[in-house]
Chain A
Amino acid sequence: MPMKGRFPIRRTLEYLQKGEVVFKNSVKIMTVNYNTQGELSEGARKFVFFNVPQIQYKNPWVQIMMFKNMTPSPFIRFYLDDGQQVLVDTEGKDYREITQHIKKIMGKTPEVLQAEALAKMVASNPANFGPKKYCLKECMCEVEGQVPCPGVVPLPKEMTGKWRAQMRAAED
């Protein structure tokens, strides 16, 4: 697969999964206004270039829109589900500062993220057997080191109920 674009690392899964910002459930739309020229917009431009893919990967249900050269100064605007709009001025800021700022205001805290991960783990218990859609294994015969499926490999005679019944009958 050839490398496409100026910084093809932005297209790798590893880079995207390293994104830090996970928005709260109330954030629905994020809008970034920035300019293509000018020293003051440099931070916003870098933010759009490097960090927005990470944010979108972590928040697939948030709509993100970019507007270029519409206003003299760059800013980011969040639209929440209760109609509130949050404005973040990014003039003269570094792209790392912008990310940290957004993470502080609109991002989920590490405790919340941990709690969510725990809940997810509880829901997907590897000890459950069932359809492939919900569980890892359907039957114990699929686990390594266990008795294989009698539908594929016939059981040894001693394990069959038929033989056991015969032995019991012969004893009686």
Chain B
Amino acid sequence: MFQVATRFPNPLCRFLTPRASVLVEAVRGRKSRTDPKAKSKAGRVKVPPPVDPVEMVVLKERFTQYDLITRALRFEFKEEMLRQRYEQEVGSLAEERAKQEAEEHCALMAWNDAENLQLWKLRELRVLKGLEEEELKKTELAIQREMKMESFVKEKEQEILQLQEEAKTFITLENLDQRIEEALDNLKNYNFAIDKEGRVVKRTVLQ
């Protein structure tokens, strides 16, 4: 209820407290414990307020009745709250609700499984397609490899044939003399120029 009384040695405490908050009431114990009692209060004897016994009895009885009623009311309200909470969590309605929720959950799980199944089927198709494509690629690669091998073999055969034909014009020991005489008879002049395309240049006079 009351704010905690703060003790300031400074009598200007009222100016130091912030405006917005409640004014600190008459600060209890302005004096410290060592300060002497005031002269006007030297012989003071504190007397409690007088009590009328009749009034006291009447008031006590009324108070007990009032207290009984308010405690009973409070208890009733608490009990009502507890019962409401109990019914919500463990009542018959709650059981029905739980059953319904379980059913709905089952249905949703079944729907989810169906969706997963559909996706699984799509994935199967995709995987099969992927495998087929891979096989196709493999076969194509094999065919290409074979073709390359064939062309390679053909080229080599061509080269061999060409070599065989050239071998007919080779100079051997038998026709060595004959070829030397032929060469000496037919003198060839290599003193000519060619352009970038390999054609012989005709303008200059062959020496």
Residues of A that sit less than 8 Å from B by CB: 73, 86-89, 91-93, 101, 104-105, 149, 151-152
B24: min CB distance to chain A, Å:
10
The chain B residue with its CB closest to the CB of A87 is: B116
Residues of B that sit less than 8 Å from A by CB: 20, 22-23, 108-109, 111-112, 115-116, 119-120, 122-123
Scoring A73, A101, A105, A149 by chain B CB atoms within 10 A of each residue's CB, the highest score goes to A105
A88-B116 Cα distance, complex, nearest whole Å: 7
A91-B112 Cα distance, complex, nearest whole Å: 14
A149-B20 Cα distance, complex, nearest whole Å: 11
Question: CB-CB < 8 A to B120: which residues of A?
Answer: 89
B116 adjacent to A89 (CB under 8 Å): yes
B123 adjacent to A105 (CB under 8 Å): no
- 14 A-B contacts (beta carbon < 8 Å): A87-B112, A87-B116, A88-B116, A89-B119, A89-B120, A91-B119, A91-B123, A93-B119, A104-B111, A105-B108, A151-B23, A152-B20, A152-B22, A152-B23
**B112 contacts which of A73, A105, A151, A152 (Cβ < 8 Å)?**
A105
The chain B residue with its CB closest to the CB of A78 is: B112
A89-B117 Cα distance, complex, nearest whole Å: 9
Question: CB-CB < 8 A to B22: which residues of A?
Answer: 149, 151-152
The chain B residue with its CB closest to the CB of A75 is: B116
Question: CB-CB < 8 A to A89: which residues of B?
Answer: 115-116, 119-120
A88 adjacent to B123 (CB under 8 Å): no
A101-B108 Cα distance, complex, nearest whole Å: 10
Question: CB-CB < 8 A to B119: which residues of A?
Answer: 89, 91-93
A76: min CB distance to chain B, Å:
11
B109 adjacent to A105 (CB under 8 Å): yes
Scoring B108, B111, B119 by chain A CB atoms within 10 A of each residue's CB, the highest score goes to B119
Q: A86-B109, A151-B23, A152-B22 are in contact. Are A101 and B123 (CB under 8 A)?
A: no
B80: min CB distance to chain A, Å:
15
The chain B residue with its CB closest to the CB of A152 is: B22
The chain A residue with its CB closest to the CB of B22 is: A151
**B123 contacts which of A73, A93, A151, A152 (Cβ < 8 Å)?**
A73
B200: min CB distance to chain A, Å:
63
**B122 contacts which of A92, A101, A104, A152 (Cβ < 8 Å)?**
A92
Question: CB-CB < 8 A to B123: which residues of A?
Answer: 73, 91
The chain A residue with its CB closest to the CB of B117 is: A89
Question: CB-CB < 8 A to B23: which residues of A?
Answer: 151-152
Scoring A89, A91, A92, A105 by chain B CB atoms within 10 A of each residue's CB, the highest score goes to A89
